[in-house]
Amino acid sequence: MNFEIKHIDDITIFKLNERKMDTTISGILKGEFTILSQAENIRKLIIDLQEVELCDSSGLSALLLAQRMIREKGGAIRLINVNDKIHNLIKISFLENVLPICSSQQSAIEELENLE
């Protein structure tokens, strides 16, 4: 699985460089999110899905795991660069309030900066 991690102040950006977010990578992705969430200083996470074209329920499950683990630390996540197919999947799954989508990296940063 190919991904990049970068930090802007106290915000971590996780960019998934895979075309599919499905059963073929969901287990590895969950493991990476678990490692990230266990880092003491990670409470604000942006997940960049620019390269992701397809997502199934196991991909959503990985995103939900990241959200739950970061929320348990008092933090929050934001999704960016979400294509229409994935956005619709999140919408029909009634997860828009659980997996907030921002229109840009800058807007996600601004939202997360306002968190304590």
CATH number for position 64: 3.30.750.24
Per-residue confidence (pLDDT) for residue 101, from 0 to 100:
97
Q: What angle do CA 73, 76, 82 make, to 5 degrees?
A: 145
Q: Cβ contacts of residue 55 below 8 Å, gap of 6+?
A: 20, 21, 22, 49, 85, 86, 89
Task: Check pLDDT > 80 for residue 116.
Answer: no
Give mean pLDDT, residues 71-88: 96
Q: What is the β-pairing status of strands 3-8 and 20-21?
A: unpaired
Per-residue confidence (pLDDT) for residue 25, from 0 to 100:
95
Asked whether the beta carbons of 75 and 9 are under 8 A apart, the reply is no
User: 30-59, pLDDT tens digit by residue?
Assistant: 999 999 888 878 899 999 999 999 999 999
| Residue span of the structural domain in which 80 resides | 3-113
**DSSP code of residue 38:** H
The total of structural domains in the chain comes to: 1
